[in-house]
Each structure stands twice: as C-alpha cells, then as structure tokens.
Amino acid sequence: MRWIAVGTVMLAAAICLDHSWGGTDDDIVFASKLFTDLPDYGSVGISGTLTGDGIAYENNTISISCYKDRRECYIASVEQIGHNQIGRLQSVAIYPITKWSADEVVAVQDIMDCTRTTIVLEHKSKTALYAREPINQTRPGCLAVDKKVYKWTIEDSPGWKKMFGKK
C-alpha cells in the first residue's frame, strides 16, 4: 500500500514539473483583443496580439489609441522574449492620422524614409490592419532594408486562445 502512495506522489510530481503542462513554453497570457470606439469623445483604440508572418515574438501585446482632436495615434507594445520574461517597454510611438471617417481611422509613419508603416482601424468590423512596406529603395541608405511587405492583424493572444478558446 505504501508503494502505491509513493508511486502516486511521484507521478503527481512528474506531471507538475512537466513544462508542457503549463502551455507552450509557459507562455505569459496577455489579455484578449479589445476594440474601443468612443465617437462622442473622438477616440478609438484597439489592444491585443499583433499576428502574422514576420513577427519576431509571437507572444506579444500592442495597444493603439487614436485621438481625432490631436490627429495622432499612440502605439505601445511589449513581447515575451523568453521563459517567463517580458522585453522592455519602449517609448510610445506617435503616428500622424491621415484619415478619420465614420468607417476608419488611418495613421501613417515613414521611418527614416525607407519604411512606411500604415495602421487602419475599422469601426464597423472592430479590427485593425498594421502594415509595413519598403519605400525609396533606390536610395543608398535604404538598400539594406527588408524588401518584404508585411500585413499584420491584432487578435487574441495565443495563451488567451488556449485558455478560453476563440470568441
């Protein structure tokens, strides 16, 4: 009887110490996607996980907040860069708004005249497109820039989907 109890305790300990139990490499669980539209205040925003090809750290969270009166969007993000480790929260990026309508908000930022980032928040579908494309590729300073066009969306985090499923 005693050996059954010892075997049971050892099995329980092995299961508890198995890293695959906690999730994909013990991913940090970031919050679900949230779209906020406050037309009376001239504010729209989205937060969630930036997803798509070319994302360096797939377990991440981003927040985009746009204000009509300021004609600016503010973007902040963090990523899980290792086992139970979050990268540094960098300075907030500020993108000028080029279009504000009942359908969408568009913000565009050129980075060093070599890369253009476009963010589109769509009111009705409550989604966001985050695109990055190379520009001015014949300029000497832009020759080393990645030539691929990236189109990303903001979704629920991988950990959130795993714990709670898709909405």
Locate 104 and state its tokens: 């969408």
Number of compact structural domains in the chain? 1
Query: Is residue 3 domain-resident?
Result: no
Mean pLDDT estimate for the chain: 85
Query: Is residue 156 domain-resident?
Result: yes
Locate 16 and state its tokens: 């508890």
Chain position carrying tokens 């991988």: 158
Query: For position 150, which CATH number holds?
Result: 2.40.160
pLDDT tens track for 35-82: 999 999 999 999 999 999 999 999 999 999 999 999 999 999 999 999
60-98 residues labelled b (16+ CB within 10 A) or e (exposed): bbbbbbbbeeeeebbbebbbbeeeeebeeeeeebebebe
Q: What pLDDT, on a 0 to 100 scale, did the predictor assign at position 22?
A: 40
Which residues constitute the domain of residue 145?
24-164
Calpha distance 78→142 (Å, rounded): 27
pTM of the model: 0.81
Query: Above 50 in pLDDT, residue 18?
Result: no
Query: Is residue 9 domain-resident?
Result: no
Query: Is residue 4 domain-resident?
Result: no
Query: Is residue 6 domain-resident?
Result: no
Query: Is residue 63 domain-resident?
Result: yes
Contact by Cβ (8 Å): 76, 89: yes
